[in-house]
Amino acid sequence: MAVTLKSRQEIAQLRKAGQLVAQTYEVLRPYVVPGVSTAELDRIAEDYIRSKGGKPIYKGYRPRPLRNEPPVPPFPATICVAVNEVICHGIPGKQQILKEGDIIGIDIGVLLNGWVGDSCVTFAVGKLDKESRRLLETAQKCLQLGIEQARSGNTLGDIGAAIQQYAEAQGFSTVRQLVGHGVGHSLHEEPVVPHFGKAGTGLRLRPGMVFTIEPMINMGTSEIKPMPDRWTICTADGKRSAQFEHTLAITEGEPELLTLP
C-alpha cells in the first residue's frame, strides 16, 4: 500500500486532533498519583475527549488477526495503559491501582472531524528509583533523536538507527516487533516506522508524510511477551519499559509536531 501524502489543509485538521490528545494529557496529569485506578484515568480521559467533540478511537478497535488466528476482541477502553513491565496495549481496570514508584505509559488516540490524533506519554508515579528515571530520560531522548532525523530527503532507516544507537549506548534495548505508523483518516496507515535499523536505508521521506515515532525502550531484553487477553504486551524478562510518542508531519524543513500541547 502506498503512502498517502497530506495537504497543508489536511495537516491542519490532523493538528487539531493532535491538540485534543495533548490537552487530554494535561487533564490527566494531576490524577496520575499513587492510589488511583487505571479505570479512573480511563474515565477521565473519555469524558474529556467526548466533551470536546472527539471520539476515543481505541474503544472498540479490532485489528485484523494474523493468519490462522481467531479474531482479537475489540479493545474495551479509551486509553491503553502500560504499567512497569507492560510495553503497550494494557487494558485499564478498577483493580489496577497505581503505587509509589510505578511508571505508567498512557497511549491516547482520538478521532476528531474524521482525522486521527495519536500520542503516548510515560509518567512517573511519585518518586522513582534511579534506573527507572534513567529509563524514562532515555526513552524521551530516543523520541527526540528520531524526530531530528524526520526530514525530507532522509530515510526511515535514519530514524530507526538514531533511536537504536542511543538506546543501546545507554544499556537499554528498543522493541523491534512494534512500530510507528502513518496517520490520517485511519489509525494505522503506511508507512511502517521501525525504531531500529541502518542509516540511509528504507523509504525516503517526502513532504506531506504524516506518521508516528513511538520508541518502546526496555531495561532488559527487547523481546516481548503477549498476554492471554490478546492485547497486553509485556517485556519477556519482566523488566520495565517506557514509551514516548508524537505524530509528526514531514515538511520542506523541520518536522512539524502535531501532538505538542
% of the chain residues with pLDDT over 90:
95
- Please write the tens of the pLDDT for every residue from 86-132: 999 999 999 999 999 999 999 999 999 999 999 999 999 999 999 99
HEC states along 39-82? Answer: HHHHHHHHHHHHHCCCEECCCCCCCCCCCCCCCCCCCCCCEEEE
Of 102, 98, 104, give the one whose Cα is nearest residue 82: 104
DSSP helix/strand/coil, 107: strand
123: left (phi > 0), else alpha (psi -120 to 50), else beta?
beta
pLDDT value at residue 63: 82
- Rounded to an integer, the average pLDDT of 136-159 is 98
Q: What CA–CA distance (Å, rounded) separates 33 from 78?
A: 19
**Cell numbers linked to 208:** 506531506
**Cell numbers linked to 186:** 485511519
- 1 falls in which pLDDT band (50, 70, 90)? low
pTM of the model: 0.96
Q: What CA–CA distance (Å, rounded) separates 103 from 123?
A: 6
- Rounded to an integer, the average pLDDT of 129-146 is 98
Distances (CA, A) of 134 to 124, 163, 218: 11, 15, 11
Domains of the chain with bracketed CATH: 8-63+75-257 (3.90.230.10)
- Rounded to an integer, the average pLDDT of 204-225 is 98
HEC states along 196-256? Answer: CCCCCCCCECCCCCEEEECCEEECCCCCEEECCCCCCEEECCCCCEEECEEEEECCCCCCE
pLDDT value at residue 7: 98
Backbone dihedral angles phi then psi of residue 178, each to the nearest 5 degrees: -120, 140
Of 117, 49, 52, give the one whose Cα is nearest residue 259: 117
Of 212, 255, 248, give the one whose Cα is nearest residue 88: 212
Chain mean pLDDT for the chain: 97
Of 102, 162, 113, 96, give the one whose Cα is nearest residue 15: 113
Sheet holding 224-226, edge to edge: 86-88, 233-235, 224-226
- Please write the tens of the pLDDT for every residue from 15-65: 999 999 999 999 999 999 999 999 999 999 999 999 999 999 999 998 876
pLDDT value at residue 66: 66
Q: What CA–CA distance (Å, rounded) separates 202 from 131?
A: 33
Task: Kindly tell me if the per-residue pLDDT of 71 is higher than 90.
Answer: no
DSSP string, 114-150: TEEEEEEEEEE-SSPPHHHHHHHHHHHHHHHHHHHT-
